[in-house]
Amino acid sequence: MSKNNDNQNLAVIDFIKSIYSKDKFIPLHEPRFKGNEKKYLRECIDTTFVSSVGKFVDQFEEKIAKYTGAKYAVATTNGTSSLHVSLILAGVEKNNEVITQPLNFIATCNAISYCSAKPIFIDVDKDTMGLSPSKLKSFLEKNTLIKNKKCINKKTKRVIKACVPTHSYGHPCRIDEIKKVCDEYCIFLIEDAAESVGSFYKKKHTGTYGQIGAMSFNGNKIITAGGGGCIITNNKVLAKKAKHLTTTAKVPHKWNFNHDMIGYNYRMPNINAALLLAQLEKLNDFIDNKRNLAKRYEAFFKNADYEFFKEPKNSKSNYWLNSIILKNKHQKDKFLEQTNSRGVMTRPIWTLMNDLPMFKDAECHNLNNSKWLDERVVNIPSSTTL
């Protein structure tokens, strides 16, 4: 059906307002607190355990490990600190290179930069919005050689230490294929699973394919700690190191302050873990609700000119943020303008990392799909419905 664009945009706005049964401002994503949040928070305050000591951190770590099927989980202050520590655990050092996708939230590239390493940008697949394993492989085949189990970039002579793909907007990328390529080229795989808590690929939770998965529990994510993050891994040594590094590298002792390396104060406070534990208890409800919302969007957009982004094959997505694909940049800009000026919050996909001033000189390889998506993708309101 081909309607005039203005009418079409107004129909989308009406539909979104009807979903949320309100005429006031509709945010892109807002948290819901319907469970034990107040109870657990009150317990923190009543017992005074609001900070670095308390039972909620341990309880959360145990439960998220169980939920994801990872052997170990280490809670942190946010997703960015999880990524930072993951890169340190991967051995990323000054002047190493780290492969990632240009279509991404800034946190991944920030974390790479904290290690004084350089990002290399490889394209995404159109149907996942996540790193493309075939493009990764063709880049590595042409541009690298393996020496002493290290992957060397022939052009820069630098070591490519790690690869950080993202499960964009909660949709799993082809992570099993990416893992295979990384193994073949001796590259440490860290999954940016910040947005994909509750998303599964081939029945395995995202973040459990790589050596490490990093999650975020920021206020806009599917479950929130206010601010928080988590590292998941099946490797005991990495888990122990992660705990050590995120807790100021303190050597356990009844009273002495001994630290055996430069550590970080990246531990999640107990009060954040209390909120998060209550949220985790609701995660499956949130996912059911969001998958149902996605179905309604999908049905609506079948009769519209805009394409609704569906979960990739072989995956069960948490549909954290719903996306639509417009026909071109002009249509996208018009849609953003009309929705936002009428109280329906929508956002374009992230500016490509290689278009930001800090990364404009980074190595890039054939970013056609990223550019295509960058011109067309818009996120639409995705909070759970009441």
Ligand X SMILES: *Cc1c(COP(=O)(O)O)cnc(C)c1O
Partnered with residue 167 across adjacent β-strands are none
Comparing CB distances to ligand X, the nearer of 107 and 278 is 107
192 near ligand X (CB under 6 A) = yes
Q: Could you report how far apart the first and last alpha carbons of the chain are, in Å? A: 31
CB of 116 to ligand X, least distance (A): 19
**In angstroms, rounded to a whole number, what is the distance separating the alpha carbons of residues 246 and 82?**
9
Q: Closest by alpha carbon to 381, among 16, 7, 10, 6? A: 16
**In angstroms, rounded to a whole number, what is the distance separating the alpha carbons of residues 359 and 356?**
6
Which of 229, 269, 312, 381 touches ligand X by CB under 6 A? 229
Q: Which helix (H) or strand (E) holds 145?
A: strand 144-147
353 near ligand X (CB under 6 A) = no
162 near ligand X (CB under 6 A) = no
CB of 77 to ligand X, least distance (A): 8
216 near ligand X (CB under 6 A) = yes
191 near ligand X (CB under 6 A) = no
Comparing CB distances to ligand X, the nearer of 92 and 159 is 92
Up-side HSE of residue 247: CA atoms within 13 Å toward CB? 19
**In angstroms, rounded to a whole number, what is the distance separating the alpha carbons of residues 52 and 267?**
7
31 near ligand X (CB under 6 A) = no
Handedness of CA 176, 178, 179, 183 (dihedral sign): positive
Q: Please report, as residue ranges, which positions from 68 to 87 form the binding site for ligand X (by CB under 6 A).
A: 78-80
CB of 343 to ligand X, least distance (A): 24
198 near ligand X (CB under 6 A) = no
Comparing CB distances to ligand X, the nearer of 105 and 264 is 105
CB atoms within 10 A of CB 116: 11
Which of 182, 194, 245, 321 touches ligand X by CB under 6 A? 194
196 near ligand X (CB under 6 A) = no
Decide if 271 contacts 48 (C-beta within 8 A): no
**In angstroms, rounded to a whole number, what is the distance separating the alpha carbons of residues 140 and 178?**
12
CB of 320 to ligand X, least distance (A): 9
Binding segment toward ligand X, per CB under 6 A, in 8-16, 102-110, 263-271, 338-346: 102-110
Comparing CB distances to ligand X, the nearer of 13 and 276 is 276
Q: Closest by alpha carbon to 378, among 337, 336, 340? A: 336
Q: Is 192 helix (H, G, I), strand (E, B) or coil?
A: strand
Which of 73, 107, 164, 238 touches ligand X by CB under 6 A? 107
How many chain residues bind ligand X (CB under 6 A)?
Answer: 13
CB atoms within 10 A of CB 368: 11
CB of 286 to ligand X, least distance (A): 16
Q: Which residue matches tokens 């206010």?
A: 226
Backbone angles phi, psi at 164, to 5 degrees: -125, 90
Closest residue to ligand X in the complex (CB)? 79
Which of 100, 128, 153, 218 touches ligand X by CB under 6 A? 218
380 near ligand X (CB under 6 A) = no
Binding site for ligand X (CB under 6 A): 78-80, 105, 107-108, 166, 192, 194-195, 216, 218, 229
